[in-house]
Amino acid sequence: MPFLKKLHRSWQLYVLLALPVLYILVFKYYPMYGAQIAFKNFIASKGITGSDWVGFKHFIRFFNSYEFGTLLKNTLVLNFYSLLAGIPFPILLALAINNIQNKWFKKSVQMITYAPHFISVVVMAGIILVLLDPEKGIVNLLLGVFGFEPIHFMAKPSYFSSVFVWSGIWQNVGFSCIIYLAALSGIDPSQHEAAVIDGASKFKRILHIDIPGIMPVIIILLILNTGHIMDSGFEKVLLLQNQLNLRTSEVIDTYVYKVGLASQAMNYSYSTAINLFKSVVGLAMLIIVNQIAKRAKQESLW
């Protein structure tokens, strides 16, 4: 058979392909089987199949809970803030690095901006808390030099989203710009050569050649990131969270952890229902933004 011949001829490639496929099946698709406990009164001793169906009981309980409005608001505010603030900086950094002529300086900038991405979330949270310490933190020491009173950033709910978002941009801007640098390297150099001959400045070449050249990548990444609009980054939020900033720092991810694992009740069905709701909203946002991109005649996922 032709397929078996092809399989025998390129078996090494199929072996390489089998590993990521196996990973997706085991860690992405198989866990979907457990999502059904969102519609059941899950009891561990009875198992998933033996537990009683309760329909949308847990979803209704979440929608009617007094935390629902606050959780949804905090989650959307934090994620929209991260999305909107995080879009331009990797693009600007990639455009700047792409136009640096000195190779040594170019590589140094790339390394310095790329390195923070590899700092673990726990260490990053510790760094943030040390920098923002009201007594010994460098930020408050600098504020004192200019005559300002120290600010207890982590005790004020209004500062939480900004601390979370801008520390995330600093940590990930170098890593996020890599894909834009790859897209910029794919732009035909003859376009820049023709523009130089026509007398175009470097700024105009960036504006009319580089940005349009990477616009499809920008649109695709925007669509993909919109699909994660309900994912706040559970670990970092939890580590920066305290009783004083809980009014703005309590998001759906941390709430699910507290009611599903940290509480004595172990509400597995309830927490699964909340997570399933979050996934459905993310999928809906992905489809909506993708359709908007298609109607605007931009790049889309499908």
pLDDT, tens only, 209-239: 999 999 989 999 888 888 888 887 788 999 9
CATH of the domain at 176: 1.10.3720.10
263, pLDDT greater than 80: no
CA–CA dist 201, 190 (Å, integer): 15
180, pLDDT greater than 80: yes
Q: Output the DSSP codes for the chain.
A: -HHHHHHHHTHHHHHHHHHHHHHHIIIIIGGGGGGGGGGEE--TTTHHHHSEE-TTHHHHHHHHSTTHHHHHHHHHHHHHHHHHHHTHHHHHHHHHHHT---HHHHHHHHHHHHGGGGS-HHHHHHHHHHHT-TTT-HHHHHHHHTTPPP--GGG-HHHHHHHHHHHHHHHHHHHHTHHHHHHHHTS-HHHHHHHHHTT--HHHHIIIIIHHHHHHHHHHHHHHHHTTTT---HHHHHHH--TTTHHHH--HHHHHHIIIIISTT--HHHHHHHHHHHHHHHHHHHHHHHHHHHHTT-----
- Higher-confidence position of 36 and 266: 36
**Residues forming beta bridges with residue 41, ordered by sequence position:** 52
What tens digit of pLDDT does each residue of 24-82 get?
A: 999 888 888 888 899 988 887 888 888 889 889 999 999 998 889 999 999 999 999 99
Tell me phi and psi for residue 288, to 5 degrees: -65, -50
Q: What percent of the chain has a predicted confidence (pLDDT) above 70?
A: 99
CA–CA dist 227, 28 (Å, integer): 16
Mean pLDDT value across the chain: 88
Closest CA to 290 of 300, 276, 275, 278: 300
Residue 164: inside a domain, yes or no?
A: yes
Residue 301: inside a domain, yes or no?
A: no
How many Cβ atoms from other residues are within 10 Å of residue 238's Cβ?
19
15, pLDDT greater than 90: no
Residue 1 has a pLDDT of 59
Mean pLDDT, residues 268-292 taken together: 89
Residue 24: inside a domain, yes or no?
A: no
Number of domains the chain is built from: 1
Residue 90 has a pLDDT of 93
138, pLDDT greater than 80: yes
Mean pLDDT, residues 7-20 taken together: 84
Residue 137: inside a domain, yes or no?
A: yes
265, pLDDT greater than 70: no
Show the domain range for 109. Answer: 52-295
Residue 264 has a pLDDT of 65
Residue 8: inside a domain, yes or no?
A: no
92, pLDDT greater than 90: yes
260, pLDDT greater than 90: no
Residue 101: inside a domain, yes or no?
A: yes
Residue 40: inside a domain, yes or no?
A: no
- Higher-confidence position of 239 and 297: 239
268, pLDDT greater than 90: no
279 Cβ contact list (under 8 Å, min separation 6): 230
- Higher-confidence position of 264 and 176: 176
Residue 25: inside a domain, yes or no?
A: no
Please tell me the pTM assigned to this model: 0.85
* 52-53 and 40-41 strand pairing: antiparallel
- Note whether 282 and 231 are within 8 A (CB): yes
